[in-house]
Amino acid sequence: MNKTSPNPDLLKVLPNDDILQQCIHCGMCLATCPTYDLTKLERSSPRGRIRMIRSVARGEMELSALFAEEMNFCLDCQACETACPAGVKYGRMVETARVIVDQSVFTPKLKLFIKRFVLRKILASRFALKFVSRLLWIHQKTGLQKLIRLIGLLKLFSEKLPEVEKLSPQIANHFSDSIIKEIELPQGEIKYKTAFHFGCLMNTMFSEINTDTIDVLKNVGCKIITPKDQVCCGSLMAHNGDIEFALNLARKNIDAFIKHEYDYLISNSAGCGAFMKDYAHLLENDPLYSEKARIFSSKVKDVTEFLYSELPALKEKVKASVELEPVTYHDACHLIHAQKVSTQPREIIKSIPGIKYTELDEASWCCGSAGIYNVVRYDDSLIQLQRKMKNIRNTGAKIVLTGNPGCMGQIKYGAEKFDVDVEVLHPVTLIKRIIE
């Protein structure tokens, strides 16, 4: 087995021993961990990985290919955090461990270059992302995509590439940052002053969810401020070992929003919302940003978390003649486990008159999307997706609601691959459909 001694400077990014000692190795996390469920190997469990991280941090264990594999095998779904009686923040541990892995010999330089280029130069740049998205839109709309799939061109590069390519969502005809005004006002009185983060992928690939969110917020009396100088939240970078770059994006977002006065910052992406709520922790030792980050994070709310307080107003606005197909709900990992938002979306859904709601078995079990996990570890993600689609099929639902773009794309792909007849929607899109 290949091993190497980690750079002492790199080890400084790992959690200190007091934090690593918080795990009491009780095993409550085992039943909730998708990778342990697959392998039944201790090293593939949260407590097993914590032991490995602690051993590396103490210098008792050298970096190895096995260590790198386990840190990347983890979905970072954080279901273990919900199960943990000691309140261990496992997600932060594995994400810092990935910083070590990415800068070691166990991450091929070409792979690291491609990942960093995509995340830093395309995803984090609104101009570059919109340019690439428009090229993809042309690729999808002109029939070129269908032609390439028909002749099997992608198989020349990789056997899995044709399937991975199908994970790419449809690019929106119009990007939301060109539609949403910097200041949006309700027709009636202003009840709340809110801000809105339109994200990166949400802006180009899920644009309609963003505009639906604005319409619903206006409907319940919100003035909405959408700063044009906001940037990507940084979550995908942080989850993939590029924490310093992610923190620079966090500072830019804080600077963009702090210039405005608002009560709540609304996010409709579970991953973005969770990471923005974590700015306070991530920047707590930054003398210039610690207080600003604390205030920023304290105002972040998922859209369903905010709308839950407006249930009476929403119910009054439901169209009298609404008829809905049976509905179920999938918990996005970073909504239920990281943000602890689970009851609110369900109560909103079940409060809609005439809705037929069926609870999804293992609703909080990861669908396998996990950021870019379904791209870089397609086979592993497919196992989780197949399990999720079986449970969705068993509900008999025709609509699956979920609050994260990654989950939406993954489940849409799963519906096609495993022939499950469901429409995948964001809860706010369903609300927009049924209100006056």
Q: How far, in whole angstroms, is CA 434 from its chain's centroid?
A: 26
State the amino acid at position 151 in one-letter form.
I
pLDDT value of residue 156: 79
Q: Please list, in sequence order, all residues whose beta carbon lies within 8 angstroms of the beta carbon of residue 268, skipping any fewer than 6 positions away.
A: 202, 209, 210, 213, 302, 303, 403, 426, 428
- What pLDDT tens digit does each residue of the chain (436 aa) get? 566 655 554 455 566 666 677 888 899 999 999 999 999 999 999 999 999 998 888 888 889 999 999 999 999 999 999 999 998 989 988 998 999 899 899 999 999 999 999 999 999 999 999 999 999 999 999 988 889 888 888 887 888 888 888 888 899 999 999 999 999 999 889 999 999 999 999 999 999 999 999 999 999 999 999 999 999 999 999 999 899 999 999 999 999 999 999 999 999 999 999 999 999 999 999 999 999 999 999 999 999 999 999 888 888 887 766 778 899 999 999 999 999 999 999 999 998 887 899 999 999 999 999 989 999 999 999 999 999 999 999 999 999 999 999 999 999 999 999 999 999 999 999 999 888 6
Cα(292)–Cα(305) distance, rounded to whole angstroms? 23
Q: What percent of the chain has pLDDT over 90?
A: 75
What dihedral do alpha carbons 382, 384, 390, 393 form, nearest 10°?
A: -90
pLDDT value of residue 10: 47
pLDDT value of residue 435: 84
Phi, psi dihedrals of residue 208, rounded to the nearest 5°: -65, -30
pLDDT value of residue 130: 96
Q: What's the CA angle centered on 161, arms 158 and 162, to 5 degrees? A: 120
CB 76 within 8 A of CB 120: no
Please report where in the chains the tokens 């790198």 appear, as a residue: 68
pLDDT value of residue 353: 81
pTM confidence score: 0.92
Cα(189)–Cα(167) distance, rounded to whole angstroms? 42
Q: In three state form, how does the secondary structure of the chain look? A: CCEECCCHHHHCCCCCHHHHCCCCCCCCCHHHCHHHHHHCCHHHCHHHHHHHHHHHHHCCCCEEHHHHHHHHHCCCCCHHHHHCCCCCCHHHHHHHHHHHHHCCCCCCHHHHHHHHHHHHHHHCCHHHHHHHHHHHHHHHHCCHHHHHHHHCHHHHCCCCHHHHHCCCCCCCCCCHHHCCCCEECCCCCCCEEEEECCCCHHHHCCHHHHHHHHHHHHHCCEEEECCCCCCCCCHHHHHCCCHHHHHHHHHHHHHHHHCCCCCEEEECCHHHHHHHHCHHHHCCCCCCCHHHHHHHHHCEEEHHHHHHHHHHHHHHCECCCCCCCCEEECCCHHHHCCCCCCHHHHHHHHHCCCCCECCCCCCCCCCCCCCCHHHHCHHHHHHHHHHHHHHHHHHCCCEEECCCHHHHHHHHHHHHHCCCCCEEECHHHHHHHHEC
pLDDT value of residue 47: 94
Cα(120)–Cα(97) distance, rounded to whole angstroms? 20
